[in-house]
Amino acid sequence: MNQQCGCARGRAALLRTWCVGAVWGQLVVSGCYSYGAPRNVAPQPGTHVAIRLSGDATRDLALQIGIGVTYVEGVVVGDDSAGLHLAVTHVDGRSGGSSAVWAGERFTFPHDSYLSLEVRHLSLPGTVLVGGLSIGAVVAMSQAFGTGAAAISVPGSLGNPRQ
């Protein structure tokens, strides 16, 4: 009997550990990001950025990046006198008309080709809100469908005394 109680306590501890891990995992998955002014003068390699192209650049680069593209997102590969080197992940056209996902193709944007540069930052309030809502929904569904922690029966344990 004492051995079974120790086993049940171990399973309960494992279940709690799994639940805590699931909560942290949900918060990570539901991370919200926003773009804002860079904190450094030049973004470091690996930084996610968004640039808004000038009208001249939109025309001049149309054959390379697409007709009417005004907004480009990507990961900084480097920044030197030739321009900002990006591994492009997404482009948008005027007024959201055309949009395309890129697979990280590298492209160099001369410094005078873009009007603004913004860096992606983690939005803590948004992440907590979305993560909290997601976790709340999972808990509510678990309770509604009877799959909450109280209803879980571990093989070899005594089971739920209410059943």
Domain residue ranges of the chain, discontinuous segments joined by +: 2-31+123-140+147-151, 34-122
CATH, domain 34-122, list 1.10.10.10, 2.170.190.11, 2.30.30.100, 3.20.20.300: 2.30.30.100
Q: What angle is formed at CA 120 by the lines to CA 28 and CA 22, rounded to 5 degrees?
A: 0
1-10, 15-24, 99-108, 146-155 — most confident range: 99-108
pTM: 0.55
Q: 75 - beta bridge partners?
A: 48, 87
CA-to-CA dists, residue 101 to 13, 36, 92, 140, angstroms: 44, 21, 9, 36
Greater confidence (43 vs 125) lies with: 43
pLDDT of residue 74: 95
Using only C-alpha atoms, the chain has a radius of gyration, in whole angstroms, of 25
Greater confidence (24 vs 140) lies with: 140
pLDDT of residue 151: 47
Across the chain, mean pLDDT equals: 75
Greater confidence (58 vs 37) lies with: 58
Using the predicted structure, report yes or no on whether residue 126 has a pLDDT greater than 60. Answer: no
Quick one: pLDDT band at residue 119, thresholds 50, 70, 90?
Answer: confident
Work out the average pLDDT over 37-54.
83
Using the predicted structure, report yes or no on whether residue 70 has a pLDDT greater than 80. Answer: yes
Q: In terms of C-beta distances under 8 Å and separation of at least 24 residues, what long-range contacts does 121-130 make, across chains too?
A: 121/33, 121/34, 121/35, 121/36, 122/31, 122/32, 122/33, 123/32, 123/33, 123/34, 126/32, 126/34, 127/27, 127/30, 127/31, 127/32, 128/27, 129/32, 130/30, 130/32
Please report the DSSP string for 13-40 in residue order.
Answer: HHHHHHHHHHHHHHHHHT--EEEE--SS
- Please report, as a single letter, which amino acid is at residue 143: Q
Cβ-contact 38, 119 below 8 angstroms: yes
CA pair distance 158, 23, nearest whole angstrom: 27
Percent of the chain with pLDDT over 90: 35
pLDDT of residue 22: 63
Least confident of 28-37, 45-54, 153-162: 153-162
